[in-house]
Amino acid sequence: MPKNSKVVKRELDDDVTESVKDLLSNEDSADDAFKTSELIVDGQEEKDTDVEEGSEVEDERPAWSSKLQYILAQVGFSVGLGNVWRFPYLCQKNGGGAYLLPYLILLMVIGIPLFFLELSVGQRIRRGSIGVWNYISPKLGGIGFASCVVCYFVALYYNVIIGWSLFYFSQSFQQPLPWDQCPLVKNASHTFVEPECEQSSATTYYWYREALNISSSISESGGLNWKMTICLLAAWVMVCLAMIKGIQSSGKIIYFSSLFPYVVLICFLIRALLLNGSIDGIRHMFTPKLEIMLEPKVWREAATQVFFALGLGFGGVIAFSSYNKRDNNCHFDAVLVSFINFFTSVLATLVVFAVLGFKANVINEKCITQNSQTIMKFLKMGNISQDIIPHHINLSAVTAEDYHLVYDIIQKVKEEEFPALHLNSCKIEEELNKAVQGTGLAFIAFTEAMTHFPASPFWSVMFFLMLVNLGLGSMFGTIEGIVTPIVDTFKVRKEILTVICCLLAFCIGLIFVQRSGNYFVTMFDDYSATLPLLIVVILENIAVCFVYGIDKFMEDLKDMLGFAPSRYYYYMWKYVSPLMLLSLLIASVVNMGLSPPGYNAWIEDKASEEFLSYPTWGLVVCVSLVVFAILPVPVVFIVRRFNLIDDSSGNLASVTYKRGRVLNEPVNLEGDDTSLIHGKISSEMPSPNFGKNIYRKQSGSPTLDTAPNGRYGIGYLMADIMPDMPESDL
């Protein structure tokens, strides 16, 4: 039986009772009555209470209906669009199969320890990100507010991508697919192919012109794209309806939104493996390039991917875990979810490159056919002698091997004249080396590949429904990371707050559905999350390890889990993770400084992308996104450090614990900010069902006595209800 089972806990409780028997011998009936009282703060009943274990009073904080539901919620939040369109791109770009080794190492060093840390504090304190970091240290309470701001920034543009997926999903019920062929343009004299489409491709044209109707620069608004506006509205309505009751409503939808993408990925993998050329794509994907693995950039990008793949710093992880039971084995959850995330990325990579391998073979066959016809023309014109062509080769039905043989022969014989012939080598590797990521992979490369699938509308419907589900799973965690901390802190109704949050986000999100909206999505993706989230997670690590105390935190984990976590986490949290995170932050700042701030604009006349620098106002917006995201941290620190706001209704030090209950009592607590009592706002108070020992604050003592294990005796701190009572009577 696991150590954290209720049977063992009862045995531990009995031991503690025996050890303090003499101290409890004089407890009176008033104290017994106090044990069963409700949590009272500022004279009002606190509904969101946690009670002592074994009490018949129910914990009124919402809870997951099952462990499976919780795991699926965490998986749905961490597994998102990045697993499908960023991980495969990084894997291809940074050494193929060799990229997996740095990723796994950094997952163990950064990913799992920090994920475990966030799960632990959320489950232990049972509050959202604002309440958690106020609990650890009021001066660092800005960390929670910063998480909420970053979450909101990300939610603004992330839901736009869900809107794009909804648009493509709605257009997939057609045969042939609308992006299968270039449109024809008619004039008075004749019909011709749309020039912009002919110069690019059918899927590229459809994405930029039909779906986005994109402008030529970020300064050219072009007005709202009404089709995408409707899709964005639909996306926010879906999110709002799913989240309006919190985990009670989203929990039911999680079963579908989290599991359906795996069904689609497995179906796609089976179908893709049956296509011609899919093995070429997988072989190319996992051919290790060990020399690339030694480059620092590979490790930086792997660390960044690990960081964002698990959703660290957003607050969603903390919010979800706050609805767990206190004795839940969150260490097991951290390892399980992290590796599910990793294997999902590998599965998605297999699917992507199997499909891209098929697409590369289709393009390669067209290339060989066109160039073979060109060679036949040169043979008829006498530009190339028939004698150099091997007799067994038939250029009208040539294989890839025979074409490459002819190509090499002509290149050697016509060495000086060869460039003028404009022949292509038509190698699959060249096509597969064209790295595609993000929207380019999902809405251009993948859609083009699906046009060659048998029953292509079916696969298109499945693919974009999968993208919608992946996006919604991440959005649930993101919105929970915004709503839960605010509800816990300010005690507003979750339904009203969710509706206001979604409505305001839709209104702000209209900037992303202008004709220039795609450029704003790029801007927010580059600047609103990367640096602020890194800073947030670094501060989280510092707050737990150096402000609260790593030794006290390890003791808390032992008390909560029923067993002592491995010392591996002690050294990771205290030494390795902070150094790695600081290195990643410095590398990101340097990389951002060396990379010119700009975006890839679609130029209609050239039918291609062109890099443009942001205008002056665009640079101001970029800087503002970073500043606004991290601004709550110094603001809250300064306000609480110098007591700039007088909280007369409930002084920051006016809450005293007694036997798992909180009473509003004028107490003058000063000193150590790491105290789990000092400086806690009543609305942010965690449920105090902690230790099993009894400690007493000495009368007149300016600080709190600590427990023998170095922690403050939170759960059973004796309040000075009867200051005149002799210590022996306690």
CB-count exposure of residue 66 (10 Å: 0-12, 13-18, 19+) = exposed
What are the backbone dihedrals phi and psi of residue 19, each rounded to the nearest 5 degrees, phi first? -70, -20
Quote the CA–CA distance of 314 and 494 in Å, as a whole number: 19
Helix (H) or strand (E) holding 470: helix 456-490
Compute the distance between CA of residue 447 and CA of residue 437 in angstroms, rounded to an integer: 13
- The reply, when asked if residue 474 is annotated as ligand binding, is yes
SS3 label, residue 720 = coil
Q: Is 119 annotated as a binding residue?
A: no
Q: What is the DSSP string of 396-430?
A: GG--HHHHHHHHHHHHHHTTTTHHHH------HHH
| Torsion sign over Cα 77, 128, 717, 28 | negative
Cα–Cα distance for residue pair 519/362, rounded to 1 Å: 32
Using left for φ > 0, alpha for ψ between -120 and 50, and beta otherwise, residue 249 falls in: alpha
User: CA angle at residue 13 from 7 to 14, to 5 degrees?
Assistant: 95
Q: Which of 260, 419, 344 is nearest to 87 (CA)?
A: 344
- Structure token digits, residue 367: 């290339």
What count of Cα atoms within 13 Å lies in the side-chain half-sphere of residue 205? 20
The answer to whether 541 is annotated as binding is no
**Angle, CA 610 vertex, CA 525 and CA 370 arms, to 5°:** 115
Q: Is 341 annotated as a binding residue?
A: yes
Asked whether the CA dihedral 131, 135, 141, 147 is positive or negative, the reply is negative
- Collapsing DSSP to helix, strand or coil, 53 comes out as coil
Q: Which helix (H) or strand (E) holds 184?
A: strand 184-186
SS3 595: coil
Check the annotation: does 79 bind a ligand: yes
621: tokens are 């917006």
* Residues flagged as binding site: 76, 79, 83, 341, 470, 474
* Residues flagged as binding site for Na(+): 76, 79, 83, 341, 470, 474
